[in-house]
A and B are shown apart, each in its own frame.
Chain A
């Protein structure tokens, strides 16, 4: 936003940089921690009930993998989400922290418990073998770990739900009075929590099936047993996941629902919206078919079937997260703040006074473009505007390259046409982009800068003339 310095991530862009960290975090926190703890507790219960030493050992091997991933990668990428957002969209995370401070604080306390239970459960598994009295209390530690890790998810989904459907949390604009209870009890919290819980278990169970394949190379009986066990857990979660998923979908604002298809595929394929359904259904069928095969023919199934199931599920999760992020556009907090950190309620002031007038980190000479501003200053001014309002989603040459987008429109180097296009950024053709915030002269400066991107230098100078 205008209150912060500018950090531009060339080529990769902010969205992709963030998405990388976030998706790794989702894979691991949902799989290795939340879903993982649930299926491992069930597995340990099963081993205790049948006094099955081999199954207990298999569960430990899966646990070892989950443990390393959850502690080294899961926890750090979780903190990483903050770190990324604080350099990408400080205004948004700053606002979220103020609204959700205490929930985050409680989450941190629960996170402590989670970590302690996890460390104890992991480090003492071997020392409490099956059949000893210590095993029962060890089992309880695992149960507490599962509860704690689910609770952390419960709190975080409240924040994600809030960004999509903030409901009535803002009781007044100025002085700002938030309703903290309304922010927590936002309409999509519970449905999304249910949806995520069940897909976490499915995801963890499919990871466990894949890992079991590798850990039971010597023992086909054990493999069959593992596939049946984890396969049943997986199958049991499918219907609840779909039910919660549909309930969750119903909470989305209409404008967001309209963007669903585009979230699944890209804008270039939007002429064939059926593709979105085809891709999703195909992935789901692929995953289901491989799961059923592993379940019914565990001894015959080749490793690639387990891999296909795992990868199809990973793809479905990524698709869900991408759609969820995409359909929230043009907002970062629905109806309150645009993706580029501008609050909706500040638009009137910025359009009247100018965006750059309020930009603390832009040198004075670039803060007030007028009809008589010299071209170099004007272009540089436009560049600041690009960096402050557009680089959240665009790069110059890389991912979602603004240069390519403009060339595609056929208006490269044409400052007038660009100016017209910028006027309508947030309109029916591109409802996912926030409107430009600023005066008419600022819009022209941005157009002048964009016109230089793919024009030969001589033309660029001409374009900058007011």
Chain B
């Protein structure tokens, strides 16, 4: 297809589907499911780590131990979701790397070295978040120091999604590639920007639902402070869900229409837009349920679980339509990459057989056999017959009047002192002595 300026070859090995046709769809299913789990953890990681700092500082400002407790309670989901989030990121990474190898790796390379930030930035954020959590009580009297640690770790966590988003946007839009596309080009594009915004908002919305659940559970705690913190979590959870979700109604369409039109066309033709409608309707239901009892914090368990269930359905449906968009955009490019790769492999095979046949049929080498062996063992990479190259000209060496055995010995253990002004020859004990004897005779014949 003409709209791809450059398409790499696919990896010249079959997909690991064992030759069974039902396995590839299973890969896609696994990808969507594992990705949803990953992203829910990451959503909570971002929201909860932000909350853990926000409520800590609120507690300091208002001198209210309840807020301090809310912040502290939020560090537990941070620890769990950073560990589980990273772990569940591995499966989608594995699957994307297998299903979309050429596109994904190409994009990752264009975004390098920035792409490495997802490792090193992550490690730094991780360690700081542990420090923040495990010094909560020891730094009680030095709250500003403690808050600084927290703010840096949260800020670091928030720098990771842009790097992912830039790579993801880039690999699903190979039409936008140029010979020198790089990270900042990808990051500052409107599609990346709006998607990122959508993602950040969604993170707060998901964390909102998580807080609802967490607060609901903490309310039943035996500890008075925990119970009060639970109330705060429930009421905060509601607004954290409502505000970003409403905003995303506006950002969503911006994301959708920033994709290349051929992808949009395929997306709509495959019927994925039904999932958009479904997600909108369900999100509206959730909003309605929460607004109805907005000032009533005694939510029933049934209502909370209904909302959680609805959220999972919305997230699943958004993940599926996201995957639909990915397939719509990458389908033609992957088809081309595969075709190209097959063609390349065929040509490579032909050329290899041809070269083998030619080698078998070729008349025995014309050169003196010594010269042929010297070429084979790379001697002529550094020596020539008449001129100084890296090593001395063989005519000069011949003038030294070494016997055969001496030359053989010198190759295994050179004596650079014999040739002042030259670099040292590397010892080559692995060259067979039989061959060296022939080479030595040839060198001596050049006198």
Chain A interfacial positions (CB closer than 8 Å to B): 3-7, 9, 21, 68, 71-73, 75-77, 79-80, 82-84, 86-87, 90-91, 93-95, 97-99, 101-102, 104-105, 108, 111-112, 115, 119, 173-178, 180, 255, 258, 267, 270-271, 343, 345-349, 351-353, 358, 360-363, 408-411, 417, 420-431
In which size bucket is the chain B interface? 35 or more
Nearest opposing residue in chain B for A24, CB measure: B123
The secondary structure that dominates the B interface is helix
Which listed residue (A75, A83, A101, A104) contacts B87, Cβ 8 A? A75
Q: Known: A90-B109, A173-B349, A349-B352. Contact between A360 and B389, CB under 8 A?
A: no
**Are the C-beta atoms of A5 and B110 separated by less than 8 Å?**
yes
**Are the C-beta atoms of B430 and A428 separated by less than 8 Å?**
yes
**Are the C-beta atoms of A4 and B348 separated by less than 8 Å?**
no
Residues of B within 8 A of A428 (CB): 377-379, 428, 430-431
How far apart sit A101 and B375, CA to CA, in the bound complex (Å)? 42
Q: Known: A424-B382, A427-B381. Contact between A112 and B87, CB under 8 A?
A: yes
**Are the C-beta atoms of A73 and B123 separated by less than 8 Å?**
yes
- Chain B nearest CB, measured from A418 CB (Å): 10
B285 within 8 A of partner (CB): no
Nearest opposing residue in chain A for B27, CB measure: A101
**Are the C-beta atoms of A348 and B119 separated by less than 8 Å?**
no
16 residue pairs A–B, Cβ–Cβ below 8 Å: A76-B123, A87-B112, A94-B101, A97-B97, A98-B16, A115-B87, A345-B352, A351-B355, A352-B351, A360-B7, A421-B390, A424-B379, A424-B380, A427-B376, A427-B378, A427-B379
- Chain A nearest CB, measured from B345 CB (Å): 5
**Are the C-beta atoms of A101 and B426 separated by less than 8 Å?**
no
Residues of A within 8 A of B382 (CB): 409, 420-421, 424, 429
B13 within 8 A of partner (CB): yes
How far apart sit A94 and B377, CA to CA, in the bound complex (Å)? 33
- Chain A nearest CB, measured from B306 CB (Å): 29
Chain B interfacial positions (CB closer than 8 Å to A): 6-9, 11-16, 80, 83-84, 86-87, 89-91, 93-94, 97-98, 101-102, 105-106, 108-110, 112-113, 115-116, 118-120, 122-123, 126-127, 130, 179, 181, 344-352, 354-356, 375-382, 384, 389-390, 422-428, 430-431
**Are the C-beta atoms of A108 and B94 separated by less than 8 Å?**
yes
**Are the C-beta atoms of A119 and B423 separated by less than 8 Å?**
no
Report which residue of B6, B375, B377, B390 has the largest number of chain A beta carbons within 10 angstroms of its beta carbon: B390
Residues of A within 8 A of B109 (CB): 4-7, 86-87, 90
- Chain B nearest CB, measured from A330 CB (Å): 13
**Are the C-beta atoms of A82 and B93 separated by less than 8 Å?**
yes
Q: Known: A4-B105, A363-B179. Contact between A423 and B119, CB under 8 A?
A: no
Residues of A within 8 A of B428 (CB): 428-429
Nearest opposing residue in chain A for B11, CB measure: A94
**Are the C-beta atoms of B349 and A72 separated by less than 8 Å?**
no
How far apart sit A111 and B15, CA to CA, in the bound complex (Å)? 23
**Are the C-beta atoms of A349 and B347 separated by less than 8 Å?**
yes
**Are the C-beta atoms of A115 and B84 separated by less than 8 Å?**
yes
**Are the C-beta atoms of A353 and B115 separated by less than 8 Å?**
no
Residues of A within 8 A of B379 (CB): 424, 427-428
**Are the C-beta atoms of B378 and A270 separated by less than 8 Å?**
no
**Are the C-beta atoms of B11 and A95 separated by less than 8 Å?**
yes
**Are the C-beta atoms of B90 and A111 separated by less than 8 Å?**
yes
Nearest opposing residue in chain B for A361, CB measure: B6
**Are the C-beta atoms of B116 and A83 separated by less than 8 Å?**
yes
How far apart sit A303 and B80, CA to CA, in the bound complex (Å)? 36
Q: Known: A83-B118, A94-B11, A108-B91. Contact between A102 and B348, CB under 8 A?
A: no
